[in-house]
Structure 1
Amino acid sequence: MSHTPHSVDVALRWSDMDAYGHVNNVQYLRLLEDARIVAVADWLGEGDRLLKAGLIVSRHEIEYLAALTFRHAPVRVDIWPTRVTAASFDLAYEVRDPAEVGEQLYARAESTLVAYDLEAARPRRLSAHERARLQDLAGEPVAFRWRPR
């Protein structure tokens, strides 16, 4: 990866665990969402139209690599944009331990997000500023095991 991903530390909750004692697969979506909100605000500013006008998820894909059990230390979510189009963009994620905890990689994921006009209830085009900023930060797609390298 030639770019530097944005890193967000996300706390785990006791309620994230399932009957098997590990973080439930559904809770990974919350971890990704928490990191995504912070990253987009950092990249574009909290007052940016992208967050205020609307941004919806149209696709998620997650590849689970190791069991994540509850602990008080947060997990680190590395996040970066990949493909940027006129009205949508993909975000890549890696859920891992922070460097001070270890180097375990728990999951890789990718989401497609669509800029959305909440008032008109329909997708909208990304602004030139939004598109340019996301493209400036863009890196390689997620290295899923199934994806040829």
Structure 2
Amino acid sequence: MNITLSQAENIIAIAQKKSKSIDTKMNIAVVDSGANLVAFVRMDGAWLGSLDISIKKAKTARYFDMNTGIIGSLSQPGGSLYNIEHSNGGLITFPGGVPIKNKNGVIIGAIGVSGSTVENDHAVAEAGAEAL
């Protein structure tokens, strides 16, 4: 199953609303179950450098079907996934990427958010992922 464009646009709208509520400007990416970009928005004034990061966070969350922050904790020196961020053409292993599940709990895509602190990035990504 794949996320639809309509679902992705709704997820981005909810994520933007959360971003505005915490006074941040974000880049927000949604990928489908194959980690292909479905929808993207760069809010006015969001960092240009975070554009690529948001897409890679979404892809990373989908590639491994877990929050990117969890992958980050496993990829520290001595961790079981140490250096994984160098695989798959470059991964992002800090918070802000979250898998998206449908009402049956099946992963149909992922959201990646970047543009603020990792705590804010994760909060906005969670809000978007929970929009379904």
TM range (shorter): 0.3 to 0.5
Of structures 1 and 2, the larger Rg is shown by 1
Q: Please identify which structure carries the higher strand content.
A: 1
Q: Please identify which structure carries the higher helix content.
A: 2
Q: TM-score scaled to structure 2, two decimals? A: 0.33
Q: TM-score scaled to structure 1, two decimals? A: 0.30
